[in-house]
Amino acid sequence: MLDGLDPEQREVATALHGPVCVLAGAGTGKTRAITHRIAYGVRAGILQPTSVLAVTFTNRAAGEMRGRLRQLGASGVQARTFHSAALRQLQYFWPKAVGGDLPRLLERKVQLVAEAAARCRIRLDRNELRDVTSEIEWAKVTQTVPADYPAAVAKTQRDAPRDPAEISQIYATYEQLKRDRSVIDFEDVLLLTVAILQDRHDIADHVRRQYQHFVVDEYQDVSPLQQRLLDLWLGDRDNLCVVGDASQTIYSFTGATPDHLLNFRTRHPGATVVKLVRDYRSTPQVVHLANGLLGQARGRAAEHRLELISQRDPGPEPAYTEYADEPAEAEGTARRIRDLIAAGVPAGEIAVLYRVNSQSEVYEQALADAGVPYQLRGAERFFERAEVREAGVALRGAARAGSNDSLLDDAEGLPAEVRAVLSTKGWTPEPPAGSGAVRDRWESLAALVRLAEDFERAKPGATLSDLVAELDERAAAQHAPTVQGVTLASLHSAKGLEWDAVFLVGLTEGMMPIAYARTDEQIEEERRLLYVGVTRARLHLMLSWSLSRSPGGRAGRRPSRFLNGLRPGSAALGARRGAAATTGGIERGHQSQGQGPVTRRGRRGPARCRVCGRTLTDAGEMKLMRCDDCPSDMDEALYERLRDWRAVRAREIGQPAYCVFTDKTLMAIAEAVPGSEGELAGISGVGVRKLDRFGTAVLTICAGGTVDEVLGEAADES
């Protein structure tokens, strides 16, 4: 059972007592380590299979874990998501704890949220409805009741999609509608299970007798509510093994936090801690880039980053490509994908990853034009597709008919039987030309054929009935086979997957990091998201960006700051900012535009954008001396310090914050980083009076002083 494990994985597998924390970097074989740990404990007689509960975050991951445990001889171990484990317990204990039938589970809450908003006389468009629904989900997993939602938003500096008071009202109405109609949502499954285990000690004892040992995968993604449920499952015991990587925390918007992972050793002082850093997935070149990306990170998660060590042979260097516009970037990506396929890389081993789903369309078109098959990840679930359901019915009927079915008379082996059955549903040995619905249907059926081939290799002599049973189990777990086509996916949905070749596209400021990431914490999560994308690649890694949105458009975009110091010819971000500070921050990096330093006061002639040169007419743009959609070199940390200082000063003088300085003026200051009164006076919106009143404080903050220091000096002077 321990053969083939490296020393650290073996340490995980043999640590069967007490709390265990596994810090596992990307591609280090964490699933292998924990499944061998469970199987080793079962085979050694230390763990009873039915007493082990392994929880993870996706049905696919749970299905993969169950499959591996079966292969290792540890059948009977429960491997589930938090929600499915809680739902199973809730269904079993509800009659005893509450009485009657469990309320109906609401599959999609959007319609009920829309009705709640209508009752509150609040109009929401489609995007706002989706965002408000997400806010309600966040509030519930962070255990925030409707009345406390506005305060929670303020405390966490969360950007609410609507006025927090309005969302609080919609949230409360939504909860009332659920009660009136006797329905519950997915978050209620966890909340109600927690409530029953808290209130009914006899039921909690029953669960704890059933499950003696717990394993939690992707522990960095645990929400406060999930942690509360885990604590109740455990009781006063410590037979817990957690596995995670703080550098892969990318779901904070859903309530996930790495704090539980980072605080594990504080909560469990005697815990065994094992670090997995041998990367078996990626080449040294890919790993070097991943390590370099995190090497620039800041914050608590960065302090606990893992330095990966590749175990693979060297491969090609990551490729960086700049394109004139988005269509050119998509077409260039499609050409390179076609070349990879021609060189022998399977289409199913290639992925194009982007920041937001709306970026996919131009790549869908480019791949279709290039004749390259693709699949959209995050689209309709595989086993819910009409053609897959129809194929399942046909296979089930053929299995019942057995050798009496004329289609199977000449068939030899399971794959041949499946091909014969699916040929009546549209499968052919060669794919249809082009793309679209016909090709999508064929790809789904072809995936079932390949699954049959893989299934027979794993289980020689398997029958059609065995395959049907396997399909039913996979459908229940949503564990779909891989469709042979290039994967198009957002970076978030790519988590947990890997490919031979990965194209990271659209890596421009405003997209990576995303424009609405403003705080240091949000920026660092964007960096971790890019890290996840980089570590999906085994061998080939291509990173690209475009200078404008459309052909002939203004070439005002810049590559992501996260690539500074990593891509050839770029300087590290810290060095660039440091140089800018020593020169007073005058038009940093814009000399190449042919404009030279710009004097903001006394300018003659039209004001022009210092990035693209376009004539400016909007007052806010003229204050920044750039177009709103042109990239900014703003020092985000400085901007946040200025905002904090402004808030305190506004309260002291009893005026709105904008009476001190507007947001645009603070942005202009954070971009220029003035080093003298003359440079500060040259910024639109400062003026002589504000320079006299606030100039010393602003310059001190720009020079690196803290808000507390500045406010303390002001108090001493008064």
Instruction: State pLDDT tens for residues 3-52.
Output: 889 999 999 999 988 899 999 999 999 999 999 999 999 988 888 899 99
Q: How far apart are CA 142 and CA 256, in angstroms?
A: 9
Does the pLDDT value for residue 583 go beyond 70?
no
Q: What residues form DSSP beta bridges with 351?
A: 487, 502
Number of Cβ within 10 Å of residue 7's Cβ equals 8
pLDDT of residue 476: 67
In sign, the C-alpha dihedral spanning 58, 60, 62, 68 is: negative
Question: Which of 285-299, 497-511, 636-650 is predicted most confidently?
Answer: 497-511
Q: How far apart are CA 84 and CA 107, in angstroms?
A: 14
Number of Cβ within 10 Å of residue 361's Cβ equals 11
Does the pLDDT value for residue 617 go beyond 60?
no
Phi, psi of 110 (to 5 degrees): -60, -45
Q: How far apart are CA 280 and CA 308, in angstroms?
A: 10
Confidence of residue 665 (pLDDT cuts 50, 70, 90): confident
> Residue for token digits 């507007």?
662
Mean of pLDDT values over 61-87:
88
Max Cα distance, the chain (Å): 98
Q: Which amino acid is at 692?
A: D
SS (H, E, C) 91-150: HHHHHHHCCCCCCEECCCCHHHHHHHHHHCCCCCCHHHHHHHHHHHHHHHHCCCCHHHHH
Answer for the pair 216, 249: CB distance below 8 angstroms, yes or no.
no
Tell me the two tokens of residue 694.
């606030």
Question: Which of 152-156, 378-382, 399-403 is predicted most confidently?
Answer: 152-156
Confidence of residue 623 (pLDDT cuts 50, 70, 90): low
- Lowest-confidence region among 117-126, 382-391, 531-540: 382-391
Answer for the pair 407, 424: CB distance below 8 angstroms, yes or no.
yes
Instruction: State pLDDT tens for residues 319-366.
Output: 999 999 888 999 999 999 999 999 999 999 999 999 887 687 788 878
Tell me the two tokens of residue 698.
């602003």
Answer for the pair 514, 526: CB distance below 8 angstroms, yes or no.
yes
Higher pLDDT pick, 225 / 378: 225
> Residue for token digits 């995936």?
447
Q: How far apart are CA 477 and CA 475, in angstroms?
A: 5
Q: How far apart are CA 600 and CA 681, in angstroms?
A: 9
* Of residues 110, 106, 116, the one with CA closest to residue 177: 116
Phi, psi of 598 (to 5 degrees): -110, 130
pLDDT of residue 330: 92
Mean of pLDDT values over 680-699:
85
Higher pLDDT pick, 596 / 18: 18
Instruction: State pLDDT tens for residues 429-465.
Output: 877 654 345 556 777 788 888 888 878 877 888 888 8
SS (H, E, C) 239-255: CEEEEECHHHCCCHHHC
- Lowest-confidence region among 228-237, 447-456, 506-515, 558-567: 447-456
Higher pLDDT pick, 198 / 429: 198
pLDDT of residue 717: 53
Does the pLDDT value for residue 613 go beyond 80?
no
The H-assigned helical ranges of 298-381 are 300-303, 326-342, 360-369
> Residue for token digits 């850093």?
277
Query: SS3 of 53, please?
Result: strand
Distances, alpha carbon 191 to alpha carbons 90, 401, 523, 527, in Å? 10, 47, 31, 32
Q: How far apart are CA 291 and CA 306, in angstroms?
A: 8
334-337 contacts, C-beta under 8 A, 24 or more apart = 334/363, 334/366, 334/367, 334/369, 334/370, 334/372, 335/370, 336/503, 336/542, 337/367, 337/370, 337/372, 337/486, 337/501, 337/503
> Residue for token digits 């604590």?
231
Query: SS3 of 184, please?
Result: strand
Confidence of residue 62 (pLDDT cuts 50, 70, 90): confident
- Lowest-confidence region among 46-60, 348-362, 510-524, 585-599: 585-599
Q: Mean pLDDT, the chain, as a whole number?
A: 82
Q: How far apart are CA 609 and CA 427, in angstroms?
A: 57
Instruction: Tell me whether strands 20-24 and 183-184 are parallel, antiparallel or unpaired.
Output: unpaired
Q: How far apart are CA 584 and CA 595, in angstroms?
A: 17
Burial pattern 363-374, b for ≥16 Cβ within 10 A else e, equals: beebbbebebbb
Higher pLDDT pick, 180 / 387: 180
Tell me the two tokens of residue 290.
């991943």
Distances, alpha carbon 286 to alpha carbons 122, 187, 536, 691, in Å? 49, 38, 9, 50
Query: SS3 of 692, please?
Result: helix
Answer for the pair 671, 685: CB distance below 8 angstroms, yes or no.
no
Higher pLDDT pick, 54 / 440: 54
Give the CA angle between residues 594, 599, 605 to the nearest 5°. Answer: 75
Instruction: State pLDDT tens for residues 398-415.
Output: 888 764 444 444 446 888
* Of residues 503, 238, 247, 184, the one with CA closest to residue 354: 503
Mean of pLDDT values over 548-565:
85
Does the pLDDT value for residue 469 go beyond 80?
yes
Higher pLDDT pick, 695 / 458: 695
